[in-house]
Amino acid sequence: MNMESIIEQLRTNRTASREELVFLLENCGDTEREALRKAAQETALAHFGNKIYIRGLIEISSVCKNDCFYCGLRRSNGNAVRYRLTKEQILSSCEKGYALGFRTFVLQGGEDGCYTDEAVCDIVRSIKERFPDCAVTLSLGERGEESFRRLRGAGADRYLLRHETADEAHYARLHPANMSGAERQRQLFALKRLGFQTGAGFMVGSPYQTTENLADDLLFLKRLEPQMCGIGPFIPHKDTDFRDMPQGSLTMTLTLLAIIRLMHPRILLPATTALGTIHPKGREMGILYGANVVMPNLSPKEHRKDYALYDNKICTGDEAAECIRCLSARMRSIGYQIVTDRGDYRE
Ligand code: 5AD
Ligand code: FES
């Protein structure tokens, strides 16, 4: 197997075999990584120019009924501070965001039974009524097909649900026995069928992850063909059993961003907060490796620190306006520009 030909094949055929992906991920040196980076950046520039889409992230609830082993908001973490935003707080975050140029609002939260279909549909309808030129993205976990249908009916445009890992055995080492990777994948296909612009994704360097797992994650994305993909390094949280596990690697995350860009030229690919957390220039590097989206925090300042999925999360002390200013400057510093646009997926 030859690295150059694998990279060329990713660029032209947008795919590779499992063996080739494993080989590439295990043998990627600085030279190959730079070749991947360049090709990925060129691909992103060809489709999006130097424009970066922004999404206003509103963290609506830190309550979760799940107990994912890696997550600081897991049910069994008695130290987590739990809060819920009211409809009024959510709408006022949107109001602020709209004035700052956001045209997508992402409502993200734990699997919190308080947000019934009725409650979420009401919130979605109100946002769409007040801000008809904005997209609403939901990221509220596994709710099942019936619930997804109602949310779609209320006007939700997009849904983020990371698959976390495509390997069932690996999934079982990251989640309690009542959760399954197969169910997660079924729900992702349901979201696509219902017409949501759908986002999958995974953590890089999650505990027990192998290179084969990562290759399978890439091949799963090929099968699902999501419109969005969120990846970031695993970062340990002090109140979880994974507290002493090593964090995911910066270079592996960047390499995967570039490969995903080549395999899915038009995919909406964020440079995530987790990437910005493990390196001060993480998000800038993410963009240079093919990412085209950033997701500044729009949550009310008083709750920011309590949406703690992992330790040392950045931007927890900043107002939305400061974040957007900071990110604009960061993007300008590498020759990119934040735009006021819904940033929909285009075929
Ligand atoms: N480190 C990095 N990412 C995490 N997530 C949850 N916990 C962590 C962690 N400790 C990610 C998961 C989830 C998304 C909302 O955040 O992939 O889907
Ligand atoms: Fe939030 Fe820099 S992006 S402070």
Give pLDDT tens digits for 303-327: 999 999 999 999 998 889 999 999 9
Mean pLDDT of 136-162: 98
Tell me how long the chain is: 347
In this predicted structure, what is the pLDDT of residue 317?
Answer: 86
Instruction: Say whether 289 sits in a helix, a strand or coil.
Output: coil
pLDDT above 90 as % of the chain: 98
pLDDT classification of 1: cutoffs 50, 70, 90: confident
Ligand 2 within 6 A of CB of 321: no
Q: Which of 91, 93, 84, 137 is nearest to 112 (CA)?
A: 84
Cα–Cα distance measured from residue 200 to residue 189, given in angstroms and rounded to the nearest whole number: 10
CA–centroid distance, 299 to ligand 2, in Å, is: 13
CA–centroid distance, 2 to ligand 1, in Å, is: 34
* Residues in contact with ligand 1 (CB, 6 Å cut-off): 70-71, 162, 164, 203, 232, 234-235, 237, 274, 309-310
Ligand 2 within 6 A of CB of 323: yes
Mean pLDDT of 36-54: 98
pLDDT in tens, 64-80: 999 999 999 999 999 99
Query: Judging by DSSP bridges, how do beta strands 158-160 and 337-339 pair with one another?
Result: unpaired
CA–centroid distance, 183 to ligand 1, in Å, is: 18
Task: Give me 101's structure tokens.
Answer: 């140029």
pLDDT in tens, 224-266: 999 999 999 999 999 999 999 999 999 999 999 999 999 999 9
Cα–Cα distance measured from residue 121 to residue 238, given in angstroms and rounded to the nearest whole number: 35
Question: Which ligand 2 atom sits nearest the alpha carbon of residue 322?
Answer: 4
CA–centroid distance, 336 to ligand 1, in Å, is: 27
Instruction: Say whether 304 sits in a helix, a strand or coil.
Output: helix
C-alpha distances out from residue 135 to 59, 128, 156, Å: 16, 8, 7
Mean pLDDT of 16-43: 98
Residue 177's Cβ-count burial label (10 Å; 0-12, 13-18, 19+) is exposed
In this predicted structure, what is the pLDDT of residue 333?
Answer: 98
pLDDT classification of 176: cutoffs 50, 70, 90: very high
